[in-house]
Amino acid sequence: GQQLNQSPQSMFIQEGEDVSMNCTSSSIFNTWLWYKQDPGEGPVLLIALYKAGELTSNGRLTAQFGITRKDSFLNISASIPSDVGIYFCAGPPSYNTDKLIFGTGTRLQVFP
Amino acid sequence: DVKVTQSSRYLVKRTGEKVFLECVQDMDHENMFWYRQDPGLGLRLIYFSYDVKMKEKGDIPEGYSVSREKKERFSLILESASTNQTSMYLCASSLSTLRGNTIYFGEGSWLTVV
- pLDDT top residue among A94 and B64: B64
Contacting residues of A for B51, CB less than 8 Å apart: none
The reported pLDDT for the residue numbered A12 is 96
The reported pLDDT for the residue numbered A1 is 60
Is A39 touching B (CB cutoff 8 A)?
no
- Beta partners for residue B66, in sequence order: B76
Going by C-alpha positions, the residue among A90, A103, A78 that lies closest to residue A9 is A103
The whole-angstrom distance between B23's CA and the closest CA on chain A is: 13
CA distance B74 to B91: 8
CA distance B55 to B48: 6
CA distance B28 to A83: 31
Q: What is the pLDDT of residues B69-108, one digit of tens each?
A: 999 999 999 999 999 999 999 999 999 877 767 899 999 9
The whole-angstrom distance between A98's CA and the closest CA on chain B is: 4
Q: Given an 8 Å threshold on Cβ–Cβ distance, is B107 in contact with A102?
A: no
Q: Where are the beta strands (DSSP E) in chain B?
A: 4-6, 10-13, 19-25, 31-38, 42-51, 54-57, 65-70, 73-78, 87-94, 104-105, 109-113
Q: Given an 8 Å threshold on Cβ–Cβ distance, is B100 in contact with A98?
A: yes
Q: Given an 8 Å threshold on Cβ–Cβ distance, is A100 in contact with B106?
A: no
CA distance A68 to B91: 31
The mean pLDDT of B24-51, rounded to a whole number, is 93
Per-run averaged pLDDT (10 residues), chain A, 112 residues: 86 97 92 93 94 95 95 97 96 82 94 90
